[in-house]
Structure 1
């Protein structure tokens, strides 16, 4: 089965956000007996602009890069100190990230990077596929031929970002491309209820930290992932409703096959 370029399958945080790649430095935590362990990485301070969005991006990128692992605790006070912000925007970011399924806020215990088992991952992918199939169907119904062609043109232009990410093995840039494209696709349906639902239920499967445990980063797989986007674009250009719906469904659910292959 095709391996995901970012290390695994086409993965995809918050629609419409700018996605600056944050800088991180390692945090070595002392342990008893003179031993040390590498703890969750410290994050670089942020410029004071759109703080909640920047915090979301910083945490999301840390998850993508594997610097925050499933089950890691993210102390609110320490994170605020690392990023150079107050705790208020950190709390706001935590609430949104929890809604997206990327973190878990446990009463009286703190905030943790969400863990996802394989059954939950597969269920989430089926939900996301259903939502994006609806988005494609409604976009085809509601957009003029010219508007649809413009959408495909934007997709083609965005693919240059995917190729650059592949050339530099930049997992964060690859995820940013995936987020931007799939957000644009869902937005093109002109259905705000669908967009809100997808943002909360489908978007977390684009930042699928679980899959980073399954697949090693591979240059050939990364390029294969971009080529699958090229094939997807070719189908969309044809404007055939059945073909477009099947293309988006297959594009997402191939990740289910990947999990099954690993289990097998």
Structure 2
């Protein structure tokens, strides 16, 4: 038996003819990516940059494409994820380990900056981007996983009066360049995902085949005992791992 809090509100009847894996990501990562893109107020023709081509980032890319973005920039360094980003609608790929993200976005946007930027990385953005010297007195009190490299890069790369969308998760206080936010007149949007709000819309898009739900599943298991090892594989981005799904017996 399973106890389901708010069972009169939260559960959704699964539509007939749709397999479990095609509905599984409605519980979190698909609505998160959708909300991240929706926060950018895409009307059509925009340049949207997405930091992180993990599962949420990949859904943000698909969502931005559906909403009508003209150029969608995927920023990551894992080859398998960047390849998926291209198939999901990214028009431009930036491997941050090989090129300057800010300069490339300036080139793509003809010097203006992206209309909207989406930080799908959050507190896992601990890879060095040459900004560790910023606000050292604050950063010395933070763990390395709480230094917002992706967020600072996004704030820098968005155009004046643009939108910074943050579906990525942060824990505790972080140093942010508030001066740049104010001087550029930026709008920042974040928050826990409103999953229930999007279920009907996204289910319809899945049924219409407009969202690719399952090709990002790279690892499957029927044994829950594999969980710790597969989580490490996902965390360390090994073996081409993008998403793990369990089908326990």
Same fold (TM over 0.5): no
Decide which structure has greater strand share: 2
TM-score (norm 1): 0.29
Higher relative contact order (CA 8 A, sep 6+): 1
TM-score (norm 2): 0.30
Decide which structure has greater helix share: 1
